[in-house]
Amino acid sequence: MIRKLVYILQVSLIVVGSIILALGAIFWMAAMMDSLFSYRSPLANNPPQPGEGSGVRSTRRVVFVLVDALREDTALNNQVMPFLAQLRQQGATATMHSRPPSYSQPGYSTLLVGAWPDLNDGPAANLEYEDIPTFTQDDLFSAAHRAGLKTAISGYNWFDKLVPQEAVDVSFYTAGEDRLADEQVVAAAIPWLQTDAYQLVLIHIDQVDYAGHHEGGPRDPRWDEAARRADDLIRQIAAALDLSQDTVLVVSDHGQIDAGGHGGDEALTLTEPFVLAGAGVILGDYGDINMVDVAPTLATLLGVNLPGTSQGRPLAEMLELIPEQAQALQGRLTAQQGQLLEKYTQAIGQPFELPAGTSVAAYQKALEDARSARLLRERLSRSFLALIVAVLPLYWLLRSKSQVVWLVAGAFLYVLAFNVLYAVVGGHTYSLSWVSSAEELMAYLAKITLGALTISWALVLLGLKLYRQSPSRAAGLVIGFIALTIYALALPVL
């Protein structure tokens, strides 16, 4: 009777422990996702202050056309986007590079603030409309507003939350993402372009991204159809401009993988077109640039201050600047980068040290070195605990030599089965680009975890002949297998 009660107790403990372990894993994953959605920049509460602008405009106005999700290969296809090809021949063109996460809200923030997602304090992922924060860092629209320029935005309603609306003089926002919404967006903007009233205008075209998410992705013919319609809208916008006096920029915020989707670190999602044409622009192909270069370049064209948190450089080689302008720009750029480095090192508790050079690259290397030093300090402080956690299980393994081979084989099979189910059967990439929601990701991972655990447990069951063991012995080995599997998965984290 006592042995039966002990057996029931052991089984109950295993069941309860497994449930607690599963719930713990779910809550841990949820906490990790929440940390992504709630990430804030170290500069959130103490942003660099705006400097002075030159006050000299090289153009009557800048029209910033943002074609959401437009891949560079699509933009370079003259059969799909013939007008963009024509515009490219008239202006400066480059291949633009961004950084993950390749979501829209981080992309918008990088384009307008001029800083990468870890510093610009925009959302690190696409948030619900009501949760989107307004920029805490200086941005292109705020810089233009302070300089007395008139600004306008027509596009998706996320811009209504991201951009400080006191810096926007006129706007049209929509919750639509398809071709009809784009037609309304451009129709709202055209009258602004037919007057001289606005000096900075952002027009957001969204249907290419819509085709990627809802119409089969870039491999589907409807993707090219959406891009062709976007090209026609760009033609309408340019027709309302006088490019001898006005400047138009066409870029995107990210690309998409072939199957549709973005958010990860694939080259297709992090490479975008850049076409700048019109007044103040020197024609040519300028190779590779960074997304953070857009805001300081447009600020220079407009004669306003470089956004205070900008990590990019004004693309002066593309711009018609007189020597005095170029010299003054370098001085303002050095001051802006110096303040950014000082604010950042102060925010992360690292000593402030001026770099050897005065280029943006030198300042950004100093910033990255400070970040790396802070991370190293944090890792070293955790290393002793991590060593203990990593080494202690080895003691248990050495005491269980007769069973350890099968337990290790089971843990290895779990890792193999999980990856086969994920990548081969599921056909997924190891990035966030295929994930449409956190709930979808958690549900899918739970399903394949159960499948992989079942397969690997069957190996341990047969290898150790658990069906011939006493209940308590079998229970102990099962617990050991699960613990060893968790240990193997946790080692990279440690």
What gap in Å lies between CA 7 and CA 474, rounded to an integer?
11
What gap in Å lies between CA 479 and CA 494, rounded to an integer?
21
Predicted confidence at residue 64, as pLDDT, reads 99
List the domain boundaries for the chain.
2-38+400-490, 61-343
What gap in Å lies between CA 308 and CA 335, rounded to an integer?
10
What gap in Å lies between CA 334 and CA 330, rounded to an integer?
6
* 359: three-class secondary structure by DSSP: coil
What gap in Å lies between CA 265 and CA 278, rounded to an integer?
33
- Listed in order, strand segments (DSSP E) in 291-446 are none
Each residue's pLDDT expressed in tens, for the chain with a length of 494 residues: 666 665 566 566 556 655 665 566 666 667 777 777 789 999 999 999 999 999 899 999 999 999 999 999 999 999 999 999 999 999 999 999 999 999 999 999 999 999 999 999 999 999 999 999 999 999 999 999 999 999 999 999 999 999 999 999 999 999 999 999 999 999 999 999 999 999 999 999 999 999 999 999 999 999 999 999 999 999 999 999 999 999 999 999 999 999 999 999 999 999 999 999 999 999 999 999 999 999 999 999 999 999 999 999 999 999 999 888 888 899 999 999 999 999 999 999 999 988 988 899 999 999 999 999 999 998 887 777 777 766 666 666 666 556 677 878 888 888 899 999 999 998 888 888 988 877 788 888 888 888 888 888 788 778 777 667 777 677 667 777 777 777 777 766 65
Residue 351 preceded by cis peptide, ω within 30: no
What gap in Å lies between CA 39 and CA 118, rounded to an integer?
8
Predicted confidence at residue 20, as pLDDT, reads 62
Question: Under a CB-based contact definition with an 8 Å cutoff, are residues 229 and 207 in contact?
Answer: yes
* 54: three-class secondary structure by DSSP: coil
Does the domain at 61-343 match CATH 3.40.720.10? Answer given as yes
- Among residues 86, 108, 214, 119, the alpha carbon closest in space to that of 153 is found at 108
What gap in Å lies between CA 486 and CA 474, rounded to an integer?
18
- Among residues 148, 153, 133, the alpha carbon closest in space to that of 305 is found at 148
- What does each C-alpha distance from 224 to 96, 179, 212 come to in angstroms? 21, 13, 10
Predicted confidence at residue 19, as pLDDT, reads 65
Other CB atoms within 10 A of residue 44 CB:
14
Angle between helices 221-239 and 179-193 (to 10 degrees): 10
Angle between helices 360-399 and 401-419 (to 10 degrees): 140
